[in-house]
Chain A
Amino acid sequence: SQTIHQWPATLVQPVGSPLSLECTVEGTSNPNLYWYRQAAGRGLQLLFYSVGIGQISSEVPQNLSASRPQDRQFILSSKKLLLSDSGFYLCAWSGVKEPQHFGDGTRLSIL
Chain B
Amino acid sequence: SQQGEEDPQALSIQEGENATMNCSYKTSINNLQWYRQNSGRGLVHLILIRSNEREKHSGRLRVTLDTSKKSSSLLITASRAADTASYFCATDAITAGNKLTFGGGTRVLVKP
Q: Measured between alpha carbons, how far is A103 from B98 in the docked complex, in Å? A: 18
Question: At the interface, is chain A mostly helix, strand, loop or mixed?
Answer: strand
- Count of B interface residues, CB-CB < 8 Å: 24
A105 nearest CB across to chain B (Å): 5
Given contacts A100-B45, A104-B42, A105-B41, contact A46 B105 (CB under 8 A): no
| Number of cross-chain contacts by CB at 8 Å | 52
Query: Interface centre among A6, A34, A44, by most B CB within 10 Å?
Result: A44
User: In the complex, how many angstroms separate the beta carbon of B104 from the nearest chain A beta carbon?
Assistant: 4
Q: How far is the CB of A31 from chain B (nearest CB, A)?
A: 10
Interface size class of A (residues with CB under 8 A): 20 to 34
Q: Which residues of B contact A96 (CB under 8 A)?
A: 98
A99 B105 Cβ-Cβ under 8 A: no
Report the minimum CB–CB distance from A68 to chain B (whole Å).
15
Q: Which residue on B lies nearest to A88, using beta carbons?
A: B40
Flag if B42 contacts A90 (CB, 8 Å).
yes
Instruction: Tell me the residues in window 35-75 of chain A with beta carbons closer than 8 Å to chain B beta carbons.
Output: 36, 41-44, 46, 49, 51, 59
Quick check: A102 and B42 within 8 Å, CB to CB?
yes
The residues of B that contact A43 with a CB separation of less than 8 Å are 2, 4, 88, 102-105
Given A100-B45, A101-B45, are A46 and B40 neighbors across the interface (CB < 8 Å)?
Answer: no
Closest to A44 in B: B102
Most A CB atoms within 10 A — which of B31, B90, B92, B102?
A: B102
Query: With contacts A46-B100, A49-B99 known, is A107 near B45, CB below 8 A?
Result: no
